[in-house]
Amino acid sequence: MKDVAARARVSVATASYVMAGRGRVSDKTRDIVLKAADELGFVRNAAAANLRSGQSRMIGVILNNIANPFFSHLVSELESAAYNEGFLTILATAKNDIERQRKMLESMVSQGVGAIILSPVHNTCLEDLEVAITRGIPIISCVRDLPECPVSFVGVDDELSGYLAMRSALRTGKKTAVFLGGYANTTTLEGRRAGVQRALKEAGLPEANCQFRLGPLSMEFGASELSEISTGRCPPPVVICFNDYVATGVYEAARELGLSVGMDFSIISFDNTPISSALTPSLTSVDIFPGKVGAIAAQRAAEMIHTGTATRTIDRLDPVLIERDSSSLTG
């Protein structure tokens, strides 16, 4: 830093302000200092700066499966928001493995991240997060809430999501449905289940009119389940898929079975990723705003690092149903 200051003919304090991106420095002086730093090959030592300021400029991000288009969209907006706030993101995927998630949390902590954004693995509990919580590192759980843990949440109203999906099915004149995918005892699934049941109750129908078949959130699961429940090539009137990834598998199985989506049966999904409008026929999906969830999570993480707090906050967005051709209007 002394060499940069000498070359730019400014004080060490001014050079430090410029390289840290803070303080009142004129644009002309800033350009001179940055040019001097570039000529000298100077790279700011973030680890040393963290020790001096007590603040990290890194946010750790642990997602379940980046191959899912939902998470691709989420992390894209998350990274952009973090960058705009002056933070670098470190990304890892847990692949729904609780032990892998624990090791990644430990690694993130050892790397000196200031906050962690987590899409938690199924069955995540307080003990799994203690490596960060005991050190005062804020955790923001996105998409799936962990109300029993002292972590923040950014996601949508899951109960309303389920309600919108089932109400859409009922509006087409269908009275029964099958719900495919999801893990038991998670706030996401149980919220959607409650919403489905509310829509059925409003219509004067029993809860049993929507059968829940739980399982992994994969295309393979969606395809195998449709093949199994379409006995005699007769599918259920409505298939509600946990996400667009599962729905894509249902589309593939439908083609193999010679079934016409939107005519022989309806498909309704959640996420509203770009694949929803690319499928033929286009997929009716509840938009749960993955990009917005990612951006808000990054902003909350930045705020917590700046303020040095880890108090639980909740950002719960209202989902929106996007109706397309996969949900027919025939009875």
Q: What is the pLDDT, as a whole number, of residue 51?
A: 40
* 3-state DSSP percent of the chain in helix, strand and coil, to 5: 50, 20, 35
Contact present, 157 and 127 (Cβ < 8 Å): no
Question: What single string gives the DSSP state of each residue in 4-56?
Answer: HHHHHTS-HHHHHHHHHT-S---HHHHHHHHHHHHHHT----HHHHHHHHS--
Over residues 203-221, the mean pLDDT reads 95
Give the dihedral of Cα atoms 129, 134, 136, 142; nearest 10 deg: 10
Determine the Cα–Cα distance for residues 150 and 304; give it in Å rounded to an integer: 14
Over residues 43-71, the mean pLDDT reads 70
* Mean of the per-residue pLDDT values of the chain: 90
Pairing of strands 238-241, 266-271: parallel
Q: What is the pLDDT, as a whole number, of residue 52?
A: 45
CA angle 75, 76, 79 (to 5 degrees): 75
- The token pair that represents 71 in the structure block: 């998470």
Over residues 216-237, the mean pLDDT reads 90
Over residues 212-226, the mean pLDDT reads 95
Per-residue pLDDT at 312 exceeds 60: yes
9: left (phi over 0), alpha (psi -120 to 50) or beta: left
Determine the Cα–Cα distance for residues 103 and 2; give it in Å rounded to an integer: 40
Determine the Cα–Cα distance for residues 259 and 278; give it in Å rounded to an integer: 19
DSSP H helices, 134-212, are 158-171, 187-202
Over residues 289-302, the mean pLDDT reads 96
Determine the Cα–Cα distance for residues 112 and 57; give it in Å rounded to an integer: 9
Q: What is the largest CA-CA distance in the chain?
A: 83
Per-residue pLDDT band at 155 (split at 50, 70, 90): very high
pLDDT tens digits along 234-285:
899 999 999 999 999 999 999 999 999 999 999 999 999 999 999 999 999 9
pLDDT tens digits along 58-81:
999 999 877 788 898 999 999 999
Contact present, 67 and 243 (Cβ < 8 Å): no
Per-residue pLDDT band at 13 (split at 50, 70, 90): confident
- The token pair that represents 150 in the structure block: 């002292």
Amino acid identity for residue 195 in this structure = G
Per-residue pLDDT at 233 exceeds 80: no
Helix (H) or strand (E) holding 253: helix 244-257
Q: What is the pLDDT, as a whole number, of residue 1?
A: 83
Per-residue pLDDT band at 53 (split at 50, 70, 90): very low
Contact present, 226 and 253 (Cβ < 8 Å): yes
Q: What is the pLDDT, as a whole number, of residue 67?
A: 77
Determine the Cα–Cα distance for residues 84 and 100; give it in Å rounded to an integer: 30
Per-residue pLDDT band at 137 (split at 50, 70, 90): very high
- Out of 17-26, 203-212, 284-293, which region has the weakest mean confidence (pLDDT)? 17-26
Contact present, 238 and 212 (Cβ < 8 Å): no
Determine the Cα–Cα distance for residues 263 and 237; give it in Å rounded to an integer: 10
Give the dihedral of Cα atoms 254, 274, 285, 178; nearest 10 deg: 30
How many other CB atoms are found less than 10 A from the CB of residue 79?
Answer: 19
Per-residue pLDDT band at 24 (split at 50, 70, 90): confident
